[in-house]
Each structure stands twice: as C-alpha cells, then as structure tokens.
A and B are shown apart, each in its own frame.
Chain A
Amino acid sequence: AQSVTQLDSQVPVFEEAPVELRCNYSSSVSVYLFWYVQYPNQGLQLLLKYLSGSTLVKGINGFEAEFNKSQTSFHLRKPSVHISDTAEYFCAVSEGSTLGRLYFGRGTQLTVWP
C-alpha cells in the first residue's frame, strides 16, 4: 500500500506571497498523483492531477505541481495566494493496479492572512 506524506500540517502565509505545499509518496511504481482542495464544510474538489507526460502540471485557480520521480514528490505551488485560497489541501496517490483507489495524505491547512 502507498504511504503519502504531507510534510506540513499548517502553512500560514500573507496574501500575494508564494506558497509551496509539499507531498511525498512511498512507491516508485507507476502512480497517478492528485491534489484536492477542501473548503470548510464542503467535499473535496480536484485541483490538478498527473497521469503521464510533462512533469509540470497546471490546475485550477493558478495552482501548479511538479512531479519528481527520483524524489517521489509532487509539490504544489502558487506564485501569489489570495485570501480565498484558505482551505485544506490533500495530496493523493493512486497505483495503476488498484482500481483507482486513492491513498491520501493527512492534509495541509493553508491559511492566507491579509
């Protein structure tokens, strides 16, 4: 089974500052990688995903992530955050052979301050 580590449980930043949320996974076999966002009292919404091809993936709301196979990482970045980006962010991994089941990290709470 996969193990997904989100290295920071909380990340406070000021508005318009850049942010990076870190994610590492355990296996080097073929994987699919996802970032989801959860706003308070809501379900999860897909930000972006990596299936294959270019290692830099662009998602919604100006977020992007880079897949690094040698470091088994999939860090999420945004060059300039807004108050509205305040939410919990989850990294998730799916292996090719597991019928799409996702393994989630514990989440990173991003709080953007004015």
Chain B
Amino acid sequence: DAGITQSPRHKVTETGTPVTLRCHQTENHRYMYWYRQDPGHGLRLIHYSYGVKDTDKGEVSDGYSVSRSKTEDFLLTLESATSSQTSVYFCAISANGQGETQYFGPGTRLLVL
C-alpha cells in the first residue's frame, strides 16, 4: 500500500469554524489531490498540486483553500465550514500526472453541525 495518511480521520465541527485536514505521504510523489465523496456524486476534485507551492482548482473549489509547503504534506482548509461541506474527504497521490495511477488515502469523515 502507498504510504498515505490523513488526519484527522473523523471530525465534528460547527458551522462557521475553520477546519484543516492534512494529507501526508511517504512516497515522494509529485502530484497530490483532494477529493470529496458524497452519495450520488461519486468523487469530485476540490484542489490539486503538481509540486511544492504549485496548486490549482478543481471542480468544487469554492469555500476551500490548500497549501503545499513540503512535498510530503498537502493541507486542505475549509475557511468557514458550512453544513454542505459535510462529506468524506480523500487525498490521493501520483508520481506523475498523465495516465498515472492515483493512490488514495483512507479518508476523513467530516460532519459540520
């Protein structure tokens, strides 16, 4: 299994509070991705990174920001959590972008009350 950890694994928070999720990898892969999974929607890309300090938006980026200051860490921040951001968040990594297998972390379950 690829060395990917996500923290926390579960979180309950209140509307309006900031939340940061962490993805940590030990594979030295260049590309990292944040997805959210919701019933009936599959997985949707929030943000991705193609190198340290190089990030770009995905299809559902509103209300989220990311940072990547080191190869191994990719942080996802919900600036002011809303109930619509209740979801399961997955981090993925790949060595190179095109055609490469993405390896997924175990996920973080977030509940926003």
**Which residues of A are interface residues toward B (Cβ below 8 A)?**
1, 4, 6, 9, 32, 34, 36, 42-46, 49, 51, 90, 92, 94, 96-107
CB-contact partner of A100 in B90, B100, B104, B106, under 8 A: B100
Contacts of B98 in A (CB 8 A): 32, 94, 96-97, 99-100
Q: Are B41 and A106 in contact (CB under 8 A)?
A: yes
Question: Which of B40, B43, B103 lies in contact with A90, CB distance below 8 A?
Answer: B43
Chain A contacts for B102, CB-based, 8 A: 46, 100, 102
User: Is B99 touching A94 in the complex (CB atoms < 8 A)?
Assistant: yes
Interface pair A101/B45, CB less than 8 Å apart:
yes
Q: Which residues of A sit under 8 angstroms from B97, Cβ to Cβ?
A: 98-101
B58 at the interface (CB under 8 A from A): yes
- Taken together as a complex, chains A and B put the C-alpha atoms of A43 and B1 apart, in Å, by 11
CB-based nearest B residue for A106: B42
Indicate with 1 or 0, residue by residue over B32-47, a CB within 8 angstroms of chain A CB atoms: 0101000011111100
